[in-house]
């Protein structure tokens, strides 16, 4: 099976289990709420992966290390005596599954939103 199908089937299974845990008797509205929440969770996970791939947090980490190495005099003397720089070795982290997570998350959220709206307007 492909990644998208695996993620979709796993998400639907988790949404069924999650809808039973919400309390009270199971109904279609609770299941659609659970599907929407799982879709949002997938979108957030994909967004975090995109931020990590873009090395968004590396600038913060580097400035904190630089600040604390300048403030701590022992570290400054050790770094000068060893003739090393405060620059860390950069590496790139790649998440090949992020696109699949994003697409499935958007599909689940939109389909849940549409079905919930239809359920509300046509059955009320």
Nearest to 7 by CA among 114, 112, 103: 103
pTM: 0.77
Q: Which residues of the chain have pLDDT under 50?
A: none
**What pLDDT sits at residue 84?**
66
Domain ranges of the chain: 1-55+96-124, 57-91
Buried-exposed string 72-110: b where 16+ CB fall within 10 A, e elsewhere: eeeeeeeeeeeeeeeeeeeeeeeeeebebbbbbbeebbe
């Amino acid at each position: 099976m492909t990644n998208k199908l695996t993620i979709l089937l796993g998400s639907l299974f988790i949404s069924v289990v999650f809808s039973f845990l919400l309390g009270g008797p199971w109904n279609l509205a609770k299941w659609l709420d659970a599907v929407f929440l799982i879709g949002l969770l997938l979108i957030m996970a994909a967004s975090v992966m995109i931020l990590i791939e873009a090395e968004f947090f590396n600038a913060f980490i580097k400035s904190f290390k630089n600040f604390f190495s300048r403030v701590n005099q022992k570290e400054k003397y050790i770094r000068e005596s060893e003739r090393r720089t405060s620059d860390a070795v950069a590496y790139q982290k790649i998440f090949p599954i992020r696109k699949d997570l994003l697409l499935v998350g958007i599909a689940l959220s939109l389909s849940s939103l549409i079905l919930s709206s239809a359920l509300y307007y046509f059955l009320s």
